Amino acid sequence: MNAWLTIALLLCITACGADDVCELVFLNVGYGAATLVRHADTTLLIDGGDDGGQTDQGTRTVIPLLRANKIATLDAIICTHAHDDHCGGLINVLAQVPTRAMYRPTWRATNAYTSAVDALVARQKIPLTILARGMTCAWGRLQLHVLNPPAGGADVMPAPVDLNAASLGLELVFGAARALLLAGRTNWPAAVLQIPHHGAVDAFTPQLLAAVAPQHAILSVGANPYGYPSPGIVPAYSARTQLWRTDRDGTILCGLSTDGTLRVTCVPAPTR
């Protein structure tokens, strides 16, 4: 079976009219991140992978999945930070998929990708919200709490600042279920943890892993020149939780129920 068809079928089983189920789809976009969130009639996209010409993940991965699931409109796009492996693929998604709202942090640095994203948002008159710590976004029973970056004032990060340190860190709350998405600064438990910064050592502490105590940890990673995941990171997570990797397992689907139950499966990368 074609992998996109398989993912579409799995999504339909859990998402079609199910008010007590939220699906997180961690897409295999190589070195980068893109996560689809579906609940009832709501569809969110968090990041879009890289835009590297023939490897543009918006065109090659995100849009085909949306089309396979007959998703014609996104309720929101959330860009976590300005690095091309997170925001680059959003350019063609914004150009081709009607989007009701855009969320992002304050850009700590701008580049060709952030400029293109902002231009498309402005041209299409998509409502834009700048997110910071303490804010909450809600779609029905689904809530996203912003854990990072700081809002400013005495809490502001001094310049210059690493873009990964200034990335959005999000807590997804769905009834009794919780997932932490790229959140490297927290001390409360969650069933699912998307490992921040592709498994880099600068985003890991044993205290974080012990505090979150996830049942499942998701590592969005692919071939890269930085050596991520850093040495020691994979054994540390594997010793304490079920570790899933997009470069090994393909696209990873997490089904969260409001009663806190959880199921995880994966679909190998489609043959190009």
pLDDT at 153 over 50: no
| 41-78 confidence digits (pLDDT tens) | 999 999 999 976 556 899 999 999 999 989 999 999 99
**What's the chain's Rg over C-alpha atoms?**
17
* pTM metric for this prediction: 0.91
Number of domains in the chain: 1
Contact of 140 with 164, CB cutoff 8 Å: no
Q: Give the C-alpha separation, 254 to 262, whole Å.
A: 7
**Residue at 272 is within a domain:** no
Contact of 259 with 175, CB cutoff 8 Å: yes
Residue 163's domain is classified under what CATH number?
3.60.15.10
Side-chain-side CA neighbours of residue 267 (13 Å): 22
Question: Could you give the C-alpha distances from 135 to 69, 103, 155, 171, in angstroms and in order?
Answer: 30, 11, 15, 11
| 180-232 confidence digits (pLDDT tens) | 998 766 778 999 999 988 888 888 889 889 999 999 999 999 999 999 999 99
**Long-range pairs of 224-227 with CB within 8 A, sequence gap ≥ 24:** 224/31, 224/198, 226/198, 226/200
Q: Give the C-alpha separation, 76 to 188, whole Å.
A: 27
**Residue at 148 is within a domain:** yes
Q: Give the C-alpha separation, 219 to 204, whole Å.
A: 12
Cβ contacts of residue 65 below 8 Å, gap of 6+?
A: 4, 7, 8, 25, 27, 36
Which domain range does residue 251 map to? 3-267
Give 92-157 as a DSSP string. Answer: HHHHHS-BS-EEEPPPSS--HHHHHHHHHHHHTT--EEE--TT-EEEETTEEEEEEES--SGGGPP
